[in-house]
Amino acid sequence: MSNMTATGTQMELSEALDKLLLDIIRNGRDVPVEGGEVVTVKASASDMQAAIARLKMCNVAPDPAKSGVVSEIVDQMRKRNESAELLPALTENERYGG
């Protein structure tokens, strides 16, 4: 697409994708299993990766000043891996957004 302005149809598709990803993250997805039964499963890692990619594509980044969730995730990851060599320390700006 050479023109960076989205058409109405493209905006509808974009909004539908956003709603679908959000619904999957919040509620999981229905998966058919043997015997024709359908079960609801939590969002998979690939679902989460798709949502993260979508956020990056839309230039959406977490704001630690508004939510401590990002730093909580990092803290939990550090607790599970006491060596924590894979995770650099957060600066005060990254931790508290200030």
Do 42 and 23 meet the contact criterion of CB atoms below 8 Å apart?
no
Domain ranges (residues) in the chain: 7-61, 62-98
Give the tens place of pLDDT for each residue, 55-92. 888 887 766 556 666 667 666 666 666 555 555 666 66
- Tracing tokens 């994708």 back to the chain, one arrives at 17
Question: Which residues neighbour 54 within 8 Å (Cβ) at sequence distance 6 or greater?
Answer: 17, 18, 21
Give the tens place of pLDDT for each residue, 9-46. 988 998 999 999 999 999 999 999 999 999 999 999 88
Cα four-point dihedral sign 9, 10, 13, 18: negative
CA-CA distance, 3 to 38, in Å (whole number)? Answer: 42
pTM of the model: 0.56
What is the predicted pLDDT for the residue at 56? 84
